[in-house]
């Protein structure tokens, strides 16, 4: 069984540009999560999808971040326009049901210059 | 005050040592306590999962939860160089949000 995959693995962009991160969860996992780790800080929750619906988006930092999960399969996280403080590692995780183990992807390393 | 506090280390031990990793927390609503292991350039991988208070053992790993003190521990016996990684504690409330609340992680190096 393939694990959670994320694309790209790295992205370097300039301030003001747009970046779109993609996450493919484990097949059959209805729950999809986005987390972010800023350098020197802990991993922090961004949002939670159940199928295509946003269950909890309390961790989204501001309206420059837009997450979608059309069709309830893969998800994208768009940052527009990117700011310097958006640099960090963005992790995606998925789980089959509520309360079950969240399996993490390898992360996308984003650097905004 | 952060919800979860974890000493980031780094921690360096010789092979075969017993390792003790700890986290404290402030939110009494946390009921699920997890330890994740993260190797360099990889995502976190669930290592141990404990509900409420008590101990749980899995091979060389033991997780302890003391809810009265709001303190959790992970012990690694007979540590191996392959245990070198960052260990993250994470917590979850019951029946509420599914968002994991993480500590900063402790970087462990086991020297052969």
Task: Supply the pLDDT for residue B98.
Answer: 85
The residue in chain B having the minimum alpha-carbon distance to the alpha carbon of residue A107 is B43
Return the DSSP state at B78: S
Contacts of A52 (CB under 8 A, 6+ apart): A69, A70, A71, A72
Distance CA A51, CA A32 (A): 8
> Could you read off the pLDDT of B39-92 as tens digits, one per residue?
998 999 999 999 888 899 999 999 999 999 999 999 999 999 999 999 999 999
- Give the distance, in angstroms, between the CA of residue B92 and the centroid of all CA atoms in the same chain: 13
pLDDT at res. B6: 95
- Show which of residues 55-84 on chain A sit within 8 Å of chain B, judged by CB atoms: 55-56, 58-59
Predicted pLDDT of residue A1:
66
> What pLDDT shows up at residue B17?
97
pLDDT of residue B94: 74
Using CB atoms within 10 Å of the CB of residue A99, give its burial: 0 to 12 exposed, 13 to 18 middle, 19+ buried: middle
Question: What are B25-39's pLDDT values in tens digits?
Answer: 999 989 999 999 999
Collapsing DSSP to helix, strand or coil, B38 comes out as strand
Q: What residue ranges of chain A have pLDDT lower than 70?
A: 1
Non-local CB neighbours of A72 within 8 Å, separated by 6+ positions: A30, A49, A51, A52
Yes or no, beta carbons of A31 and B98 under 8 Å apart: yes
Contact state of B103 with A42 under an 8 Å Cβ cutoff: yes
Euclidean distance between CA atoms A68 and B87, whole angstroms:
30
H or E, element range at B54: strand B54-58
């Amino acid at each position: 069984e393939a694990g959670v995959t994320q694309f790209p693995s790295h992205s370097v962009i300039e301030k003001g540009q747009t970046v779109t991160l993609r996450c493919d969860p484990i097949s059959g996992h209805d729950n999809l999560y986005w987390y972010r780790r800023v350098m020197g800080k802990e991993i922090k929750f961004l949002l939670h999808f159940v199928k295509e619906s946003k269950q909890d988006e309390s961790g989204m930092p501001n309206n420059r971040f837009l997450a979608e999960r059309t069709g309830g399969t893969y998800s994208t996280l768009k940052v527009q326009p990117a700011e310097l403080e958006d640099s960090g590692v963005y992790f995606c995780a998925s789980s089959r049901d509520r309360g079950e183990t969240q399996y993490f992807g390898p992360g996308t390393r984003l650097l905004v210059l | 005050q952060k919800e979860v506090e974890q000493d980031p280390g780094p921690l360096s031990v010789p092979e075969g040592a017993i390792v003790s990793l700890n986290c404290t927390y402030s939110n009494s609503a946390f009921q699920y306590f997890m330890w994740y292991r993260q190797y360099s350039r990889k995502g976190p991988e669930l290592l141990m999962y404990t509900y409420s208070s008590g101990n749980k053992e899995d091979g060389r790993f033991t997780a302890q939860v003391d809810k009265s003190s709001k303190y959790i521990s992970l012990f690694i016996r007979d540590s191996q160089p392959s245990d070198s990684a960052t260990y993250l504690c994470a917590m979850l409330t019951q029946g509420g949000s599914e968002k994991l609340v993480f500590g900063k992680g402790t970087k462990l190096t086991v020297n052969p």
